[in-house]
Chains A and B, each alone.
Chain A
Amino acid sequence: MLSNSIIRFENVFKAYGDETVLENIDFEIKRGEFVFLIGPSGAGKSTVLKLLNKEETPTSGKIIIDDVDLETVDYSEMYKIRRKIGVIFQDFRVIKSRNVFENVAVSLEVTEAPQDVIQEVVPNILEMVGLQNKILKKTSELSGGEIQRLTIARALAHEPDILVADEPTGMIDPKAAGDVMNLLLEINKLGTTVLMATHDYNIVNHYKKRVIKIEDGKIISDKKIGSYHE
């Protein structure tokens, strides 16, 4: 039987040579939770997110995703865990040679989903994020907000259990940021666990969700309904 916890960090340390970037990181996120991971730039938020899908490995400590200890998962088998996690990157990481449809379809293609499923799912997801009219556009023709919505669509296409968003509102205007937040809340309501790294205190204070605060690589607070003051 699955435990109620979907993400667990146990005494995680991460160092690059002599430089320690994360120290004694210990937290647990339950299924269906919406959690903000906050802190100033360079605090270690992105490293925490990279550890989640084994883009980075901890120097010590355990990371458990959906009851699987990542240390026991070989890199060649890591794709099975990554398919449970949808990632929204701070720098978008769209594939410039592909159009909007193809960028979203890639999430399904990698799971070897049949073409008829891809043809059905991708337009629905694009409609959900409001890009139904941009389906055949090149990514270079989209605005910053539209690109961010495209990356959300890509992260959601394969129906992940966890959605990880690294500063999803960081490179877009406030109106687009509001749209993106509403979308993430909708997704969370449907049962997807959301972990969002941000240093935008306006957003954190407005939405009143659980807040884990990191500074200098350490968790300095973990509040059920948190706030953020610079």
Chain B
Amino acid sequence: MISTISILAIFVSFTLLSFIFSFSVLSNTAMNFLQKQVQVRVFFKDSYNQENILNLKAELEKDPRIMEVGFTSKDDALRIFKDLSKNDPILQESLTSNILPASLEIRANDVKDLDDIANEFTGREYIDSVKYLKDIKDTFKYYSSIITIVSVILFLLFFIVSFGIILSTIRINIFQKKDEIETMKIVGASDEFIQRPFISQGVIYAMVGSFLAGLFSFITLVLMFVSNSLGLKDIKEVYLLGNIKVHFLVFAIILVVVINLLGYLLGRFGSKAAVDNYLKI
């Protein structure tokens, strides 16, 4: 009975753990996607010709901080502006490419570097202006940090809860077998011999619970993918940690492996802690 309750509790706890982990990965993916939309746009004075701008672009592309650099010539800028103002023919008539400056759109690998990149251009004589939506970047950074911190806290919390479940279960088992342990000690059982079955029990409870949680989470993620919820079928790839990108279904498999591994570690160390604390030999 106590074993069934423990396995169920580990199952619930590890299912929540895997959902927190999945949520964190999906958030990370969303953040990565949104970060890519944040860019520094550098507008050049007309005196700085296109050849110089393209040379500068080539130079920037060698910078490891920079993910990509886009070039918008004065003609491109005019075409874009005309597209945007096609409902205003008078405005369109009055526009010429001389009015709009050429520009470079710079995207960084890490949104944190955008500040430095923007500062490096500000004040240069051939620069007309530098546009950089710092607020958006800061907002992304803020929410990204919050999600990471909350995920880590919840993850640790549920892991500690699971640890407590194993500890209590093994404690109850030890208490129930108190007389048997006493007798075994007197007839010559070593500490290791007495501890072994309790450690095995802890590992089995944790692994059965975590396996069921992993299976449940895997099925849920696959169903989410198949039904294209959250547009997962379109995204296809998710960001595991930082910039490590994997297919969503590969992530689901990794999740199962990680949850089972955590289950083993939890059982091994949870039951070892229990026998060390409650099995005074």
Binding site for B on A (CB under 8 A): 53, 55, 75-76, 79-80, 82-83, 86-87, 89, 93-97, 106-107, 110-112, 154-155, 158
Contacts and interface: CB of A to CB of B under 8 A. Distances in A.
A110 B182 contact: no
B190 interface: yes
Given A79-B185, A87-B187, 19 more contacts: A53-B186, A75-B281, A79-B189, A79-B190, A79-B191, A79-B193, A80-B188, A83-B187, A86-B187, A87-B186, A89-B186, A94-B183, A95-B180, A95-B183, A96-B179, A110-B184, A110-B193, A155-B187, A158-B188
Interface residues of B, number: 14
Interface string B160-195: 000000000000000000011011111111110100
A106 B184 contact: yes
Nearest to B193: A110
A95 B193 contact: no
A138 to B, nearest CB: 15
B191 A76 contact: yes
A111 B180 contact: no
Interface class of chain B by DSSP:
helix
B190 A93 contact: no
Given A75-B281, A76-B281, A112-B193, A82 B188 contact: yes
Interface string B47-65: 0000000000000000000
A100 to B, nearest CB: 15
Given A110-B193, A112-B193, A82 B180 contact: no
Nearest to A103: B183
B195 to A, nearest CB: 11
B188 A79 contact: yes
A154 B191 contact: no
A93 B188 contact: no
A200 B190 CA distance: 35
Contacts of A154: 187
B191 A106 contact: no
Given A75-B281, A76-B281, A110 B180 contact: no
Nearest to A96: B179
Contact of A93 (B183, B189, B193): B183
Contacts of A53: 186
Contacts of A76: 190-191, 281
A117 B195 CA distance: 23
Nearest to A77: B190
Contacts of B185: 79, 82
Contact of B187 (A96, A97, A107): A107
A93 B182 contact: yes
A53 B184 CA distance: 13
B197 to A, nearest CB: 11
A51 to B, nearest CB: 13
A107 B184 CA distance: 8
A155 B188 CA distance: 10
Contacts of A112: 193
Nearest to A112: B193
Q: Which 5 A-B pairs have the closest CB atoms?
A: A83-B188, A110-B189, A82-B188, A79-B190, A107-B187
